[in-house]
Amino acid sequence: MSTATFDAIVVGAGSVGTPTAMYLAERGLKILVVDQFPSPGQGSNKCAIGGIRATHSAPAKIRLCLESLATFSSWEHLHGDDIEWHMGGYCFVAYRDDEERLLRDLLKVQKSYGLNIDWYGAAELLERVPSLGHEGLRGGTLSPEDGSASPMRSCLAFYRRARALGVTFRFSERVTGLIRRRSQIVGVRTDKGGYASETVINAAGAWARSVAQAGGLDTPVVPDCHEAGITEPAARFLEPMVVDIRPTAGARNYYFCQLAGGQVIFCITPDPALVGSDRRETSAFLPMIARRMVNLMPRLANLRVRRTWRGLYPMTPDGAPVVGRSQVLSGYVHAEGMCGQGFMLGPGVGALVARLVTGALEPADEAVLAELAPTRAFGGAEALK
Amino acid sequence: MSDFRITEHPILVVPDVPRFSFSWSGQELSARQGETIAAALFANGVRVFGHHTKDGAPQGIFCANGQCAQCTVIADGLAVKSCMVPVTPGMRVEPLDAAPSLPEAGGALQYHAIDTIEVECLVLGGGPAGLSAAVELGRAGVSVVILDDKERLGGKLVLQTHKFFGSIEACHAGTRGIDIAAKLEAEVRSYENVRVWTDSVALAVFSDRKVGVLRQGHYVIVQPQVLLVATGARERSLVFRGNTLPGVYGAGAFQTLVNRDLVRPSARLFVVGGGNVGLIAAYHALQAGIQVVGLCEALPDCGGYKVHKDKLVRMGVPIYTSHTVVSANGEEEVTSVTIAAIDSAWKPIEGTEKTFACDTVLVAVGLDPVDEFHRKAKEFGLPALAAGDAEEIAEASAAMFTGKIRGLEIARMLGRDVGEVPPEWHKTAEVLKSRPGATVTEEIPDDEQGVFPVFHCSQEIPCNPCTSICPKHAIRIEGDDILGLPTFVEEDCIACEQCVAVCPGLAITLVDFRSDRESAIVTLPYEFTRATINEGDLVTVLDTEGKVLGNVPVVKVRAPKFADHALLVKVRAPREIAKLAAGIRVQEPWVGEPLEEKVERVADDQVVCRCERVTAGEIRAHIRAGVRDLNELKALTRAGMGACGGKTCPTLIRRLFLEEGVSPGEITELTQRPLVMEVTLGAFAGVITGEGPAKDVPRTHAVAVHEGGV
Which of B591, B620, B651 is where one domain is finished? B591
Work out the burial of residue B236: count CB atoms within 10 Å of its CB; fewer than 13 is exposed, 13-18 middle, 19 or more buried.
middle
A214 plus A257 within the same structural domain: no
**Polymer length in residues for chain A:** 385
Instruction: Select the highest-mean-pLDDT range: B174-178, B293-297, B502-506, B702-706.
Output: B293-297
Beta carbons of B635 and A153 less than 8 Å apart: yes
Residue B97 lies in a domain: no
pLDDT tier at B647 (50, 70, 90 boundaries)? Answer: confident
* B652: three-class secondary structure by DSSP: helix
Tell whether the model's pLDDT for residue B709 goes beyond 60: no
A300 plus A235 within the same structural domain: yes
* Cβ contacts of A152 on chain B, cutoff 8 Å: 635
Beta carbons of A299 and B99 less than 8 Å apart: no
Work out the burial of residue A17: count CB atoms within 10 Å of its CB; fewer than 13 is exposed, 13-18 middle, 19 or more buried.
buried
* Cβ contacts of B627 on chain A, cutoff 8 Å: 39
DSSP B124: E
A109 plus A209 within the same structural domain: no
> Chain A closest CA to B414's CA: distance in Å?
24
Q: Do residues B511 and B454 touch, judged by C-beta distance below 8 A? A: yes
A227 plus A131 within the same structural domain: yes
**Could you tell me if B555 lies within 8 Å of chain A, comparing CB atoms?**
no
Spatial separation of the C-alpha atoms in residues B317 and B310, rounded to whole Å: 10
A156 plus A296 within the same structural domain: no
- What Å distances lie between residue A245 and A269, A296, B625, CA to CA? 10, 12, 45
Give the pLDDT of residue B2. 59
Strand A90-94 versus strand A241-244 pairing type: parallel
A157 to chain B: nearest residue by CA? Answer: B636
B393 plus B507 within the same structural domain: no
B642 plus B531 within the same structural domain: no
Beta carbons of B673 and A307 less than 8 Å apart: yes
pLDDT average, residue stretch A122-133: 96
Which of A315, A347, A362 is where one domain is finished? A315
B484 plus B507 within the same structural domain: yes
Give the side-chain half-sphere CA count within 13 A for A139: 15
A298 plus A325 within the same structural domain: no
pLDDT average, residue stretch B675-704: 79
A174 plus A226 within the same structural domain: no
* Cβ contacts of A131 on chain B, cutoff 8 Å: 104
**Could you tell me if B668 lies within 8 Å of chain A, comparing CB atoms?**
yes
Q: What is the pLDDT of residues B354-405, one digit of tens each?
A: 999 999 999 999 999 999 999 999 999 999 999 999 999 998 999 999 999 9
Tell whether the model's pLDDT for residue B237 goes beyond 80: yes
Q: How many helices (H) and strands (E) does chain A have?
A: 9, 20
Residue B261 lies in a domain: no
B548 plus B646 within the same structural domain: no
Nearest to B681 among A41, A281, A290 (CB): A290
pLDDT average, residue stretch B419-444: 88
Residue B152 lies in a domain: yes
Angle between helical axes of B649-659 and B630-637 (0-180°, round to 10): 110
Residue B389 lies in a domain: yes
A206 plus A267 within the same structural domain: no
B581 plus B635 within the same structural domain: no
Which of B432, B459, B482 is where one domain is finished? B432
A358 plus A307 within the same structural domain: no
Residue B331 lies in a domain: no
Give the pLDDT of residue B478. 86
pLDDT average, residue stretch A221-244: 97
Beta carbons of A302 and B682 less than 8 Å apart: yes
Give the pLDDT of residue A385. 29
Which of B565, B591, B617 is where one domain is finished? B591
* Cβ contacts of A39 on chain B, cutoff 8 Å: 627-629, 631-632, 668
Q: Do residues B328 and B601 touch, judged by C-beta distance below 8 A? A: yes
pLDDT average, residue stretch B488-514: 92
Which of A277, A293, A315 is where one domain is finished? A315
A298 to chain B: nearest residue by CA? Answer: B105
Angle between helical axes of A342-357 and A151-164 (0-180°, round to 10): 20
How many CB pairs (< 8 A) connect A and B? 145
Q: Please state, rounded to an integer, the average pLDDT across all residues of chain B.
A: 93
What pTM does this model have? 0.94
CATH code for the domain of A44: 3.50.50.60
Give the pLDDT of residue B697. 56
Work out the burial of residue B399: count CB atoms within 10 Å of its CB; fewer than 13 is exposed, 13-18 middle, 19 or more buried.
buried
Least confident of B40-54, B138-152, B472-486: B472-486
Give the pLDDT of residue B699. 46
* Cβ contacts of A126 on chain B, cutoff 8 Å: none
Put simply, the chain B residues between 190 and 209 with a CB less than 8 A from any chain A CB are 204, 206-208
Please provide the DSSP assignment of B203-226 as one string.
Answer: EEE-TTS-EEEEETTEEEEEEEEE
Tell whether the model's pLDDT for residue B321 goes beyond 80: yes
Residue A178 lies in a domain: yes
* Cβ contacts of B206 on chain A, cutoff 8 Å: 280-283
* Cβ contacts of A50 on chain B, cutoff 8 Å: none
B159 plus B195 within the same structural domain: yes
Q: Do residues B133 and B403 touch, judged by C-beta distance below 8 A? A: yes
A199 plus A280 within the same structural domain: no
- Candidates B306, B323, B311; CA nearest to B282 is B311
* Cβ contacts of A311 on chain B, cutoff 8 Å: none
Tell whether the model's pLDDT for residue B602 goes beyond 50: yes
A228 plus A303 within the same structural domain: yes
Tell whether the model's pLDDT for residue B698 goes beyond 80: no
Give the pLDDT of residue B700. 40
Number of domains chain A is built from: 2
* Cβ contacts of B632 on chain A, cutoff 8 Å: 38-40, 42, 156
Put simply, the chain B residues between 602 and 661 with a CB less than 8 A from any chain A CB are 627-629, 631-632, 635-636, 643, 645
Least confident of A168-172, A183-187, B423-427: B423-427
Residue B244 lies in a domain: no
> Chain B closest CA to A308's CA: distance in Å?
6
Least confident of A293-302, B107-116, B409-418, B617-626: B107-116
Residue A266 lies in a domain: yes
Nearest to A301 among B628, B636, B687 (CB): B687
Give me the domain span that covers residue A36: 8-50+152-221+318-371
* Cβ contacts of B98 on chain A, cutoff 8 Å: 235
Q: Is B381 left (phi over 0), alpha (psi -120 to 50) or beta?
A: left
- Candidates A385, A373, A25; CA nearest to A209 is A385
* A172-208 per-residue burial string, b: 16 or more CB within 10 A, e: under 16: bbbbeebbbeeeebbbbbbeeeebebbbbbbbbbbbb
Give me the domain span that covers residue B633: 606-666
Work out the burial of residue A105: count CB atoms within 10 Å of its CB; fewer than 13 is exposed, 13-18 middle, 19 or more buried.
exposed
CATH code for the domain of A283: 3.30.9.10
Put simply, the chain B residues between 358 and 377 with a CB less than 8 A from any chain A CB are none
* Cβ contacts of A43 on chain B, cutoff 8 Å: none
* Cβ contacts of B212 on chain A, cutoff 8 Å: 283, 286
Spatial separation of the C-alpha atoms in residues A142 and A92, rounded to whole Å: 7
- Candidates A114, A72, A64; CA nearest to A365 is A64
The CA R_g of chain A, rounded to the nearest whole Å, is 21
Q: Please state, rounded to an integer, the average pLDDT across all residues of chain A.
A: 95
B635 plus B549 within the same structural domain: no
B481 plus B559 within the same structural domain: yes
Which of A297, A315, A333 is where one domain is finished? A315
Angle between helical axes of B396-413 and B128-139 (0-180°, round to 10): 30
Q: Do residues A316 and A209 touch, judged by C-beta distance below 8 A? A: no
* B78: three-class secondary structure by DSSP: strand
pLDDT tier at B708 (50, 70, 90 boundaries)? Answer: very low
Q: Do residues B386 and B373 touch, judged by C-beta distance below 8 A? A: no
B567 plus B661 within the same structural domain: no
Nearest to B102 among A153, A237, A306 (CB): A237
pLDDT average, residue stretch B495-508: 94
* B578: three-class secondary structure by DSSP: helix
Beta carbons of B645 and A306 less than 8 Å apart: yes
Beta carbons of B635 and A152 less than 8 Å apart: yes
Residue A132 lies in a domain: yes
Number of domains chain B is built from: 3
Sequence-ordered strand ranges (E) for B155-303: 194-197, 200-205, 211-215, 218-229, 233-235, 248-250, 268-272, 291-297
Give the pLDDT of residue A379. 67
- Type of residue found at B556: K
> Chain A closest CA to B634's CA: distance in Å?
10
Q: What is the pLDDT of residues A53-94, one digit of tens each?
A: 999 999 999 999 999 999 999 999 999 999 999 999 999 999
Those residues with Cβ within 8 angstroms of residue B684's Cβ, 6 or more apart along the chain or in another chain: A286, A287, A289, A290, A291, A305, B114, B219
B464 plus B487 within the same structural domain: yes
Q: What is the pLDDT of residues B191-235, one digit of tens each?
A: 999 999 999 999 999 999 999 999 999 999 999 999 999 999 999
Residue B700 lies in a domain: no
CATH code for the domain of B624: 1.10.10.1100
**Could you tell me if B117 lies within 8 Å of chain A, comparing CB atoms?**
no
ipTM of this predicted structure: 0.95
B386 plus B516 within the same structural domain: no
Alpha helix positions (H), B260-321? 276-287, 306-315
pLDDT tier at A275 (50, 70, 90 boundaries)? Answer: very high
Give the pLDDT of residue A384. 34
B617 plus B651 within the same structural domain: yes
Give the pLDDT of residue A2. 64
Q: Do residues A46 and A151 touch, judged by C-beta distance below 8 A? A: yes
Residue A361 lies in a domain: yes
A233 plus A104 within the same structural domain: yes
A310 to chain B: nearest residue by CA? Answer: B673
Q: Do residues B509 and B523 touch, judged by C-beta distance below 8 A? A: yes
Residue B409 lies in a domain: yes
Beta carbons of B210 and A283 less than 8 Å apart: yes
Beta carbons of B100 and A235 less than 8 Å apart: yes
